Amino acid sequence: MAKKTKYKHLTLIIKFQIFALKGSEISIAEIAKQVEKDRSTIYREIKRNKGIDGYYFQEAQSKADKRNKQKKCKVKNLNVRSYQNC
């Protein structure tokens, strides 16, 4: 039987570390080593949460919180088949 991987969200501390290291012109591969996450996770985090002026950890956390709230809202309202604002 295949082993199922359990994914965890990046913490605000790790997002801050990504922000600080990215500002230091360190490569994504080196950032991944320092925060002990896979390189693809770092690329995805930056791509998904980048704003107009680049990657900021506060904005990244805000976007993640908004996505999580929307996801919970859809699951909660699935039986009603309406996607109202929660």
State pLDDT tens for residues 16-27.
999 999 989 899
3-state secondary structure of 54: strand
Q: Where are the domains of the chain?
A: 12-76
Q: What 3-state class would DSSP assign to 38?
A: coil
Q: Which residues contact 50 (CB under 8 A, 6 or more apart)?
A: none
Predicted model pTM: 0.73
| pLDDT value of residue 81 | 52
Tell me: pLDDT of 34 over 60. Answer: yes
Average pLDDT of span 63-70: 85
On the question of pLDDT at 59 being above 60, the answer is: yes
Q: Tokens 């002990």 label which residue?
A: 36
Distance, CA of 67 to chain centre = 10
Class of domain 12-76: mainly alpha
What gap in Å lies between CA 35 and CA 28, rounded to an integer?
11
The whole-number pLDDT of residue 9 equals 87
pLDDT band at 69 (very low <50, low <70, confident <90, very high): confident
Nearest of 8, 32, 20 to residue 57 by alpha carbon: 20
